[in-house]
Amino acid sequence: MGSTDQDAATTTAGGTAAGSSGRPAPARLMQTVMHALAAKTVYAAAELGLADLLDDGPLTTAELAERTGAHGPSLRRLLLALAGMGLVTQTATDRFELAEAGRPLRKDAPDSIRELVRMMCGPAVWRSWDELVPSVRTGEPAWDLAHGVSWIEYYAREPEEAATFNRAMAEHTRDAAPGILAAADLSRFGTVVDVGGGDGTLLSHVLRAHPGVRGVVFDVPTGLAATATTLAEAGVAARCEVVSGDFFVSVPAGADAYLLKQILHDWDDERATAILRNVRAAVPPGGRLFVIERAVPERVTPGDPAEIRDLLLDLHMLVATGGRERTEREFERLLDAAGFEQVRLTALPRFDFRVIEATPA
C-alpha cells in the first residue's frame, strides 16, 4: 500500500516545528496529538469537495451548505477551522474563498492530493489505526484485526474504495515520477515491465520520456481498472500491454527491465523475497531490476522531520499491510537472498526514496 509523501512540517514531542522552541514539553506533545484532529479536518474538506466548489470564487456558508447538503452552522465551524489552517480565506464574516495552500485538494488540480487525503484519513484506514496497540502486541496487521480480512481482500470486495486507493497511488506516483526517471536510465531498454503498476501512471511517464521503449503494466484485476484509460490519455497505449496476474505466482518473462515501485514495503521479508525470486526467474541475463522504495535510517536522528515522516509511514505499513519500510542494508539482503546483485543506488531526497538498480547475480 502506498502512502503520502507531502513535505508538511512535522511537530514532535521533541519540538522540531517552527515556533515550538522553548515551549513546555506537555504543550509540544499536545500539539502533536492535535495534528490528528487537523488531518480529519482536511479529510472533511476533501470529502465534501469544498476546494472544487470554491475554485470559481468566494461563496457563503449558505451557498456551500446548499451545494454539499451539509448543515450550515456546522459547516461554518469547519470552514473557520480550515481558515485558521490557511486552506481557505475568510473574506467576510460569512464568506470564504480557496487559499493557495488548499488548491491541491481540488479534484482535477495538476498537483492534487485529494484522493491521498481521502484514502489515508478515511474510515477504513483510521479504523485500522485504532488497532495499533493490538497489532504491536501480536505482530498481526491492524487492518486484519479491524476488518476481518487483509487489505487486498478488502479492496477486492469494495470497488469504490479500491478506486479511491488506486487514484491515491496514481497521485503519489505522478509526483515521484520525474525523480525516478532522472535516477533510472530506462532509455536503453526495449521493454520495461512495471510489476504492480496499477493504473499505469509510472509507465506512462516512462514511455512518454522514451519513445523507443515498449511497456507492460502487470497487476491484479482491481489494480488495473483504470489502466487502459491512463495509457490512452497519455498517448502511449499502442506501446503498452496490460497483463493481469499475481506476482506471488509469476511475472511476465523476458523483458529487459523490471520496475518495483513501493511494492516490497507492502510485505514481510518472506513474501518480499518471494516476489523478487519470481522477478529473478523472469529477467533474462543482462536484464535489470529497479526497486524504488523509501529507506529508513539505521539509527534515528531525534527531531528530523523527514525521518519522523518515514518512521510514521513504517508504522502505517504495520497497520495497513503487515509490511515495513527498510534500511538500505535490509534491501541489499533481500536482493541477495533472491539472486540479485545491487549495482547502483541513487537517493531521491524529496521522498527519501532509493532507486536501487540490480542485475541477476
- What one-character DSSP code corresponds to residue 109? -
Strand residues in 41-103 grouped as ranges (E): 59-60, 88-92, 95-98
What CA–CA distances, in Å, run from 227 to 136, 239, 242? Answer: 36, 13, 8
Helix (H, G, I), strand (E, B) or coil at 221: helix
Helix (H, G, I), strand (E, B) or coil at 18: coil
Give me the count of residues in the chain. 361
Write out the three cell numbers for 230.
Answer: 491512463
Half-sphere exposure of 314 (CA within 13 A, CB side): 16
Q: Closest Cα partner for 294 from 179, 197, 189? A: 179
Give yes or no: 147 in active site.
no
Write out the three cell numbers for 114.
Answer: 485529494
Helix (H, G, I), strand (E, B) or coil at 293: strand
**Distance in angstroms (rounded) separating the CA atoms of residues 142 and 116:** 20
In one letter, which amino acid is 321? T
- Hey, how many other C-beta atoms are within 10 angstroms of the C-beta on 360? 17
- Hey, how many other C-beta atoms are within 10 angstroms of the C-beta on 56? 9
- The catalytic residue among 172, 205, 210, 265 is 265
Catalytically annotated residues: 265
